[in-house]
Amino acid sequence: MDYFPVFLDLKNKRCLLVGGGDVATRKGRMLSKAGAVLRVVAPEISSELRELVAKHNGELHEREYHSNDVTDCVLAVAATDIESLNKKISDDAKQKNIPVNVVDTPELCTYITPAVIDRSPLMIAISSGGEAPVLARLVRAKLETLIPMSYGKLAHLASRWRERVKARFDNGDSRRKFWEKILQGPAAELAMNGQDEQADKILSDEIATEDESLIQGEVYLVGGGPGDPELLTLKALRLMQQADVVLYDRLVSDGVMDLVRRDAERIYVGKRRSEHAMQQENINQLLVDLAKQGTRVLRLKGGDPFIFGRGGEEIELLAQNHIPFQVVPGITAASGCAAYAGIPLTHRDYAQSVRFVTGHLKDDSINVQWPELANPTQTIVFYMGLVGLREICESLVAHGRAATTPVALIERGTTQQQRVLIADLATIADVVESQEVHAPTLFVVGDVVRLHENLSWFKGGL
C-alpha cells in the first residue's frame, strides 16, 4: 500500500490554494464542499473561484505566492503550471509539516487527492497513488452506477439511531448483526425513499423486540476457487464480508484472503500430505462450537467445497447439531486451471467425457479403479497427484493407456505464478523431477492437452 487512506475534517479550517485557473477552481470546489475556508493566492483568479472564496468567508490574494502564505493553514494545494513554484510551495508546506498536494506531480505530494463518490455522509475515495488518475476516474464511474444516491439517506438513518442501538446491544457482534439486518430490510427501503417517519417506526419496533440471546450463529461453507480472486461468485464475496471468523486452508490464495472482512478473526486449518495444522475432526467440531457461540463462521476452501474439499464431512456434523449453514459452490480447480491453461476438458474430436480423481485417499494411498481410466476418449484430471505422479503414470500405462498420451501438469493455476508443463505419460515424471515444482498442482491426462499450444491465452508471471 503506497498511501494510507484517510479522511480529513476541514470544516471551518483554512486551506491554502495557490493557482487561479481551471485546475485550481476544481480543487477549490472540492475543498469548499468539505467546508474548508480557502486562502487563494494567484495573480489571476477565475470568477467561480472568487465566488467560492466569498461564499465561505475566505481570503483572496491577487499576487504572487509568498512563503508565509502557508502559515496557519492545515492543508496546501499547488495548482500552478510553474514547476519551480510548485516545488517551493511543496517545500514550504513540508517544512511546517502541513499536508501538501501538487497537482499531477506525485513526487512533490505528501497526500494524493482521490476520485470521490459522494453519498454524504457516506464517502468513497478511489486512488491510483497518482500513477493513473484516469483509471481511478474510470473506476469511480463504474461504482457511481452501482451505488444509489439514496445511500446517503441510509447513512443518516444509521446516524439517528446509533446511540439507541448501542444502548440496546452492549455486545459489538450483536450490534453489527442487528445493523446488517436493518440495513438490508424494510426500514432501509423506506429511508432510501425518504419515508423517514415510517423507517424510524420499524427500527423502533425492531429494537424493542430483538432478543440479543436469539441472535444465532451460522456457518458459510464457501468455495474460494482455484486462486484468481476474480473467479469468486458474488454470493461468496458477500458472505466473506460479513463473517466474524474465517477458517481457511492452504489452497486459498492471498488474493482471495484479501477480500475477507478485515476485522474478522482468521484461523488457519490448512492440510498438506501427512501434515495437518488441525485434524479434520477438530475442524468439524470447531465449526459447531463457534456457531453455538452466536458467531458467523466462514469455512473458506480452495476450489469447490464439495469436490475433494471434505465439505460434506464438515456439514454432516453441523446438520446433526441443527446449526444453520449455507453452501456456496466455487470454480473447482479442474475447470479453472484447465481453462487458464487453454485445455478444454471435453472436445468432440478428442474426449467425450471427463473424470475427476483424487491423487491420494484418506490413508494417503493411490488406490483407484485403474481399468476404468484406460479409455483413450476420456480426460482424466488428478487432484493432489504431485507426490504420487510417477506411480499414477505407470499405473495408467500398465492398465492400457498409451505411454504417448499427452499430459499437462498445471502449477498454481489461474494465478500470476501459473506454470504449465507439457509431456506424455512416459516422460512427465522425469520432467517434473528436473524442475522445482510446488503445490498446488493439477494433473491433466488426455488428447485434449494437444490443444494447449494453440489455445493457451493466460500468461502468468513465471
Sign of CA dihedral 337, 340, 343, 347: positive
Q: Treating both helix axes as pointing N-terminal to C-terminal, what angle do 47-55 and 22-33 enclose, rounded to 10 degrees?
A: 20
133 occurs within a structural domain:
no
Per-position DSSP letters for 256-294, written without gaps between them: HHTTS-TTSEEEE--EETTEESS-HHHHHHHHHHHHHTT
* Residue-level pLDDT at 330: 96
Q: Examine the residue annotation and report whether 249 is marked as an active-site residue of this protein.
A: yes
135 occurs within a structural domain:
no
Residues 161 and 179 in one domain: yes
Please answer whether residues 267 and 299 qualify as being in contact, where contact means their C-beta atoms are separated by less than 8 angstroms.
no
| Separation of alpha carbons 249 and 300, rounded Å | 7
Domain tally for the chain?
Answer: 4
Q: Is the confidence at residue 374, as pLDDT, over 60?
A: yes
Question: Mean pLDDT of all residues in the chain?
Answer: 91
Q: Is the confidence at residue 64, as pLDDT, over 70?
A: yes
164: domain CATH number is 1.10.8
Q: Is the confidence at residue 63, as pLDDT, over 60?
A: yes
Residues 198 and 297 in one domain: no
Please answer whether residues 256 and 224 qualify as being in contact, where contact means their C-beta atoms are separated by less than 8 angstroms.
yes
User: What value does the CA radius of gyration of the chain take, rounded to a whole number of Å?
Assistant: 30
125 occurs within a structural domain:
no
Confidence of residue 58 (pLDDT cuts 50, 70, 90): very high
Residue 190 C-alpha cell reads as 423506506
* Residue-level pLDDT at 91: 97
| Separation of alpha carbons 126 and 140, rounded Å | 7
311: domain CATH number is 3.40.1010.10
Number of Cβ within a 10 Å radius of residue 176: 16
Residues 342 and 260 in one domain: no
Name the percent of the chain lying above pLDDT 90.
70
pLDDT tens figures, 190-225: 898 889 999 999 999 988 887 655 556 899 999 999
Residues 447 and 387 in one domain: yes
* Residue-level pLDDT at 215: 59
Residues 166 and 229 in one domain: no
* Residue-level pLDDT at 275: 57
DSSP for residue 328: E
pLDDT tens figures, 258-307: 999 988 999 999 866 555 568 899 999 999 999 998 888 999 999 999 99
| pTM over cut 0.75 | no
Tally of helices (H runs) and strands (E runs) in the chain = 16, 19
Please answer whether residues 159 and 179 qualify as being in contact, where contact means their C-beta atoms are separated by less than 8 angstroms.
no
Q: Is the confidence at residue 114, as pLDDT, over 80?
A: yes
Q: Where a domain ends, among 214, 234, 251?
A: 214
Only one residue has cell 465561505, namely 56
In the three-class reduction of DSSP (H, G, I as helix; E, B as strand; rest coil), residue 308 is classed as coil
Please answer whether residues 79 and 105 qualify as being in contact, where contact means their C-beta atoms are separated by less than 8 angstroms.
no
Confidence of residue 148 (pLDDT cuts 50, 70, 90): confident
Number of Cβ within a 10 Å radius of residue 247: 24
Per-position DSSP letters for 16-58, written without gaps between them: EEE--SHHHHHHHHHHHHTT-EEEEE-SS--HHHHHHHHHTT-
| Separation of alpha carbons 455 and 52, rounded Å | 59
| Separation of alpha carbons 41 and 77, rounded Å | 11
* Residue-level pLDDT at 270: 83
Q: Where a domain ends, among 314, 331, 348?
A: 331
Q: Is the confidence at residue 173, as pLDDT, over 80?
A: no
* Residue-level pLDDT at 360: 64
| Separation of alpha carbons 224 and 328, rounded Å | 9
Q: Is the confidence at residue 363, as pLDDT, over 80?
A: no
Q: Is the confidence at residue 54, as pLDDT, over 70?
A: yes
Q: Is the confidence at residue 364, as pLDDT, over 60?
A: no
Cα separation values, 291 from 91, 216, 223, 265, 266, Å: 56, 7, 19, 14, 15
7 occurs within a structural domain:
no
Only one residue has cell 485434449, namely 448
Residues 338 and 422 in one domain: yes
Confidence of residue 129 (pLDDT cuts 50, 70, 90): confident
202 occurs within a structural domain:
yes
Residues 226 and 315 in one domain: yes
404 occurs within a structural domain:
yes
Residues 320 and 350 in one domain: no
Cis peptide before 99 (omega within 30 of 0): no
Number of Cβ within a 10 Å radius of residue 75: 21
Q: Which of 69, 228, 249, 301 is catalytic?
A: 249
409 occurs within a structural domain:
yes
pLDDT tens figures, 224-242: 999 999 999 989 998 898 8
| Separation of alpha carbons 65 and 61, rounded Å | 9
Confidence of residue 184 (pLDDT cuts 50, 70, 90): confident
In the three-class reduction of DSSP (H, G, I as helix; E, B as strand; rest coil), residue 378 is classed as strand
Domain region containing 250: 218-331
Between strands 378-383 and 353-358, the pairing is: parallel
* Residue-level pLDDT at 201: 92
Residues 229 and 271 in one domain: yes
Residues 257 and 279 in one domain: yes
* Residue-level pLDDT at 147: 85
Q: Where a domain ends, among 190, 214, 238?
A: 214
* Residue-level pLDDT at 365: 61
The alpha carbon of residue 241 and the mean position of all alpha carbons in its chain are separated, in whole angstroms, by 9
* Residue-level pLDDT at 342: 97
Residues 197 and 294 in one domain: no
**Least confidently predicted of 47-51, 252-256, 292-296, 329-333:** 292-296
Between strands 406-411 and 419-424, the pairing is: antiparallel
DSSP for residue 351: B
**Nearest residue to 177 via CA among 210, 202, 201, 144:** 210
Q: Examine the residue annotation and report whether 94 is marked as an active-site residue of this protein.
A: no
Q: Which amino acids are annotated as binding site for S-adenosyl-L-methionine, given as ranges?
A: 226, 302-304, 307, 332-333, 384, 413
**Nearest residue to 303 via CA among 373, 354, 242, 358:** 358
Residues 428 and 378 in one domain: yes
Between strands 271-272 and 100-102, the pairing is: unpaired
Within 8 A by CB and 6+ apart from 107, the residues are none
Q: Which of 13, 94, 181, 271 is catalytic?
A: 271
27 occurs within a structural domain:
yes
Q: Is the confidence at residue 367, as pLDDT, over 80?
A: no
Cα separation values, 429 from 107, 378, 387, Å: 51, 21, 10
405: domain CATH number is 3.30.950.10
Q: Which amino acids are annotated as binding site, given as ranges?
A: 22-23, 43-44, 226, 302-304, 307, 332-333, 384, 413
Q: Is the confidence at residue 333, as pLDDT, over 70?
A: yes
* Helix (H) / strand (E) containing 122: strand 122-126
